[in-house]
A and B are shown apart, each in its own frame.
Chain A
Amino acid sequence: DGGITQSPKYLFRKEGQNVTLSCEQNLNHDAMYWYRQDPGQGLRLIYYSQIVNDFQKGDIAEGYSVSREKKESFPLTVTSAQKNPTAFYLCASTWGQGINPNSPLHFGNGTRLTVT
């Protein structure tokens, strides 16, 4: 089955450590996205990538970094500079040129990161 795989499902880190969240898709989608979800808030865009070797900042990119070396992979690094990193992180993808009725966002099942 095609889909997006996020791993691990739960991640625990000590404050001050960088941590990398994995996102892999086998949908052959061109664009990939990282969102952050906090209780009582809508999803907030961290970074997105339209094509390999290119990515753009979203609304809350500070303290995060990404890479897109392969079409199917878009890892997110939460750095120690991120002031409040504990959250549910969602990876998504779309086919073609962005979000539209023929290419809706398709999400993975998320990684819950807890930093203490």
Chain B
Amino acid sequence: QQQVKQSPQSLIVQKGGISIINCAYENTAFDYFPWYQQFPGKGPALLIAIRPDVSEKKEGRFTISFNKSAKQFSLHIMDSQPGDSATYFCASKGSNYQLIWGAGTKLIIKP
């Protein structure tokens, strides 16, 4: 079965630092790569997403970098804040109704 491999499993970053989470996918036919943010006891919420025809997308402090040839994409959180502490999931669109999910990264921002 197709997989999306996400790393690291957990990450601790000082306030103001840069948080980086990486994902690798297998199928070159995937055409949509969203990142979701999930707080404890809540459902995931879309944070930012990218299509493979661009190499980078930035929204505020959040940036996705996309490397099509390496089949990798990453989330960068600049100037990380304690409120960014959450679990982050990458995903790839496997079919019209199916996302293939990474296992998640638990991010803790230390004040």
Contact = CB atoms under 8 A, between A and B. Distances in A.
Partners in one complex: yes
Interface of A: 4, 6, 9, 31, 33, 40-45, 48, 50, 56, 58-59, 90, 92, 97-101, 104-110
A105 B102 contact: no
B46 A101 contact: no
Given A90-B43, A109-B41, A104 B97 contact: no
Nearest to B98: A45
Contacts of A59: 1
User: Which of A31, A97, A99, A110 has its CB near the most chain B CB atoms (within 10 A)?
Assistant: A99
A42 B45 contact: no
B96 A107 contact: no
Q: Which 7 pairs of residues, A with B, have the shortest CB-CB distance?
A: A42-B101, A107-B43, A98-B96, A104-B46, A98-B97, A43-B101, A109-B43
A108 to B, nearest CB: 5
**Residue of B32, B49, B99 with highest tally of chain A CB at under 10 A:** B99
Given A33-B97, A42-B4, A42-B89, A99 B44 contact: no
Interface residues of B, number: 28
Interface of B: 1, 4, 6, 9, 32, 34, 36, 41-46, 49, 51, 89, 91, 93, 95-104
Contacts of B100: 42
B32 A101 contact: yes
A57 to B, nearest CB: 11
A50 B97 contact: yes
A97 B43 CA distance: 22
Contact of B34 (A9, A41, A104): A104
21 contacts: A40-B103, A40-B104, A42-B100, A42-B104, A44-B101, A45-B98, A48-B98, A50-B97, A56-B97, A58-B98, A90-B44, A98-B95, A98-B97, A100-B96, A101-B32, A101-B51, A104-B49, A105-B44, A107-B44, A107-B45, A109-B42
Contact of B43 (A40, A56, A58, A92): A92
Most A CB contacts (10 A, CB to CB) among B41, B44, B51, B89 go to B44
Contacts of B91: 42
